[in-house]
Chain A
């Protein structure tokens, strides 16, 4: 009897069991059903605010919101990850009093449509930002506010399109070149075999497989908060989120950010003579000390300001202080 026949036999047995469960009134959910483990994405839920963009030959629906009047100068908020979403950055919508604020979940992230491996490249990230810009403000310069990976993304975009950028503010950006990642990774990877999140992750192999994206996203949801320990050492406030794009995060990390060829988003940095604001938390592997030591010297004109009483997600721990610092820096407020 081959494996296929065995599998078929098991499925028939299970079918009988679940018919019995259904008859007895038990709730049964098909794990392939959309939105059972993680929220549905823009392509699956038309009620989500969204636009379609074409990048790398694929048209994808991205979850996007705008805040403020579209005649104001545009300000793009770039979330972290790769794979996270902008939910915890929503306090920055307050900047809509002086800016036309645009936030979106990057392709494959959050509530935006999932993407395939051939759509994941630095060039396509640049193309994505270009596509969003062309959709709303094709002729305007844009202000970029990027958090963590979003800070790296802002510098990546500046490398390709410096002429499009009005101002840059970085909220605790990740390493802007892979040569700067070593001290950060040492601290982030300093975890113990007895950590709850690690054991939870392993134990959940008993319950859910890697059948589809929802299952791996759910598993990432399981460890997302706890695994970020070295970035959240000021405390463990819950970070609001919708979905972490696990496949994107893994592929981008494996194929791009951690790949042997490395990366460097500082190629054009010397031309950035306008002031750049870097906000950094009090306690994080990417916090104030890291930013002052590794990032500030790269810029011709950067200033690192401390956000006290905060971990990596400064808009969660200290949104008021972040907004105050941004308003001191951004041109439309001065």
Chain B
């Protein structure tokens, strides 16, 4: 029952917040969508087209990301809200610029982590009436993480000379990722859109000796989004 309540709460919240990468057509004002970020993250997004004028559009979007199989960790999740603007030329070439900020919370064996970040993206490409093909160039910066350590974590430090287990604290600049991808989207007459991107995400420090996939660095970026526009 508790789990059901959590799922319902998440679904309700997701109708309020969300994000769509498919915000470049002269289509309905609203869209809700699901995005799968392989391998294990699920995004639920909402997009509102607040202004369209002369080949330009401004979207407000928001998204909740959840670890796909950690619904029981109902306090693990990430909320991203952002603003994007679409600028087109008469030859169907255009660019979408977007800025997002995010707040992520995670609970795990080492404690609880809260992270604040921002991302900026540029999507230059071809934007037709019912499909688009663009580049996704994005920088995603973790500005700060607040780490609240568990007793399990503190135990690693116990008994060592001149050592105290670290207190809960803000950790600054904990993460930066660059995303380079090609994205494609298509929308049908029932206003259902499908888009996917294929590319890589890089952390500058993941190169050389720090490249370490086993501890959470993936170089593959391949989100798949399905949205309904209304």
Using CB atoms and an 8 Å cutoff, list the residues of chain A in contact with chain B: 3, 6-7, 10-11, 13-14, 17-18, 21, 26-31, 35-40, 45, 47-48, 111, 116-117, 193-196, 198-213, 215-216, 218-223, 225-226, 238, 240-243, 246-247, 250
Cα–Cα distance between A29 and B65 once the two chains are bound (Å): 27
Cα–Cα distance between A115 and B222 once the two chains are bound (Å): 34
Cα–Cα distance between A47 and B164 once the two chains are bound (Å): 13
Report the minimum CB–CB distance from B118 to chain A (whole Å): 7
> B110 touching A250 by the CB < 8 A rule?
no
Minimal Cβ-Cβ distance residue in A for B110: A222
Using CB atoms and an 8 Å cutoff, list the residues of chain B in contact with chain A: 39-41, 65, 67-70, 73, 76, 78, 104, 106, 108-110, 113, 115, 117-118, 120, 139, 141-145, 147, 152-153, 155-157, 160-163, 166-178, 203, 205-206, 209-212, 214-218
Residues of B within 8 A of A14 (CB): 141, 143-144, 172-173
Cα–Cα distance between A165 and B73 once the two chains are bound (Å): 51
Minimal Cβ-Cβ distance residue in B for A202: B40
> B205 touching A18 by the CB < 8 A rule?
no
> A207 touching B162 by the CB < 8 A rule?
no
Cα–Cα distance between A299 and B216 once the two chains are bound (Å): 40
Partner of B110, one of A17, A202, A218: A218
Cα–Cα distance between A38 and B145 once the two chains are bound (Å): 16
> A207 touching B104 by the CB < 8 A rule?
yes
**Among A38, A39, A47, residue most surrounded by chain B Cβ atoms (within 10 Å):** A39
Partner of A209, one of B40, B73, B106, B205: B205
Residues of A within 8 A of B142 (CB): 206-209
Cα–Cα distance between A31 and B169 once the two chains are bound (Å): 10
Report the minimum CB–CB distance from B86 to chain A (whole Å): 19
Cα–Cα distance between A212 and B173 once the two chains are bound (Å): 12
Cα–Cα distance between A110 and B69 once the two chains are bound (Å): 32
Residues of B within 8 A of A18 (CB): 144, 170, 172
Partner of A37, one of B69, B108, B166, B175: B166
Partner of A207, one of B73, B139, B175: B175
> B106 touching A203 by the CB < 8 A rule?
yes
Residues of A within 8 A of B211 (CB): 210
Cα–Cα distance between A29 and B176 once the two chains are bound (Å): 17
Residues of A within 8 A of B163 (CB): 35, 39-40, 45
Residues of A within 8 A of B160 (CB): 39, 45, 48, 111, 242
Report the minimum CB–CB distance from A238 to chain B (whole Å): 7
Partner of A31, one of B173, B203, B217: B173
> A210 touching B212 by the CB < 8 A rule?
yes
Partner of B109, one of A6, A31, A222: A222
Residues of B within 8 A of A211 (CB): 174-175, 203, 205, 210
> A204 touching B161 by the CB < 8 A rule?
no
> B40 touching A199 by the CB < 8 A rule?
yes
Residues of A within 8 A of B106 (CB): 200, 203-204, 206-207
Residues of A within 8 A of B212 (CB): 210, 216, 246-247, 250
Report the minimum CB–CB distance from A20 to chain B (whole Å): 12
Residues of B within 8 A of A222 (CB): 108-110, 215
Residues of B within 8 A of A220 (CB): 214-215
Given A31-B173, A35-B163, A116-B209, 9 more A-B residue pairs with CB atoms under 8 Å apart are A18-B170, A26-B170, A205-B217, A207-B174, A207-B175, A210-B215, A211-B203, A216-B210, A247-B209
Residues of A within 8 A of B40 (CB): 193, 198-199, 202-203
Partner of A202, one of B39, B117, B156, B171: B39
Partner of B108, one of A200, A210, A242: A200
> B104 touching A238 by the CB < 8 A rule?
no
